[in-house]
Structure 1
Amino acid sequence: MSADFTTTITVDASPQAAYDAVNDVSGWWGRITGTTTAVGDEFVYLVPGLHYSGQRVTALEPGRLVEWLVTGGYLAFVSDRQEWVGTTIRFDIAADDAGTHVTFTHAGLDPDVECYDACSNAWSTYVRTSLKAFIETGVGTPNLFKGDEELDAADHVGLRDRIEGAGAAARAAVG
């Protein structure tokens, strides 16, 4: 049985403000190329030389839910470089008298996978620190890169092709 990584934050903001902040990925996680505003949109997240992953938006319910499918990726620090491929990242948003709760789940990131310790630690930092601050103040602490490491629209096309190729190869190896 899988024990997916989950963490919850409570923020002093409306569910819609939390939803809007989650969808502004570059404001709290780091630079992306692509778009995140409609089901079917795709984006790429990149930490040069360490990690990239492609996500497809699979569910959006304003003020309630954001969900992404990891369509491809690369993790330089584990033996299965495509460990995230096929996993799902989900943000459930709900309010009560205590505030707005954002429950983050990375389904498929469980203690049995090699990157669990490093990846769950990173997600904890991004969600509990950067995303929380971004929702409440409009200022997060995302990864920022400048100079040669900065991405533009043309880079997105190249990364999208690499991610789709890696995902297809991983699916063929399993199938």
Structure 2
Amino acid sequence: MRRTARLLTGTALAVVAAGGIAAPAYGDTSDSLEVYPSTTVAGGHVTVNTSACGNGGTALGDTGSMGAGQFTLAPSTHENDAIGQFQVPRTTQPGTYEIVAVCAEGSRRVKGDLTVTMTALSGPQGQVQPRGSVKTGVGGALGTDPVQTAAGVAALAVAAAGGTWLLHRRARGDGI
């Protein structure tokens, strides 16, 4: 058992020393593809940017996971980022999709996620505002007719008064 552990440890150290285990060829983990907005609806426009391609670098973006095809990221003056845009197809189903960009020089590969939802987010802090009524199966308690409302209130008052009178008689021992 001890011999096997030494053999495996020695092999792992030899591989690391020889450079067999290195960072992935597609890039540094600190670089990423930033997606704005990160949540949108089908048919929405999306902007992506990355600094992974260096100052003045370009990239080819791919949205094949959602069927929008490829787009170009071009150099910009915004923090030396490469920036590109695409439109989410109207037929895209709700879900999270991976967006990929490959730098023209060096073949660095960066990824970002885009979430597609059914409805647009609006309101304070991106909350969806509710609309419509709730179908509970129970009708409305109060109608719009003031005569019916007054009759209902009168019936409740008579029932409350009668119940109080009966409880009072029972407490005195008069019977019902």
Question: If the length of structure 2 is used for normalisation, what is the TM-score?
Answer: 0.22
> Could you say which structure has the higher helix fraction?
1
> Could you say which structure has the higher strand fraction?
1
Question: Based on CA coordinates, which of the two structures has the bigger radius of gyration?
Answer: 2
**Bigger RCO of structures 1 and 2 (CA < 8 A, at least 6 apart):** 1
Question: If the length of structure 1 is used for normalisation, what is the TM-score?
Answer: 0.22
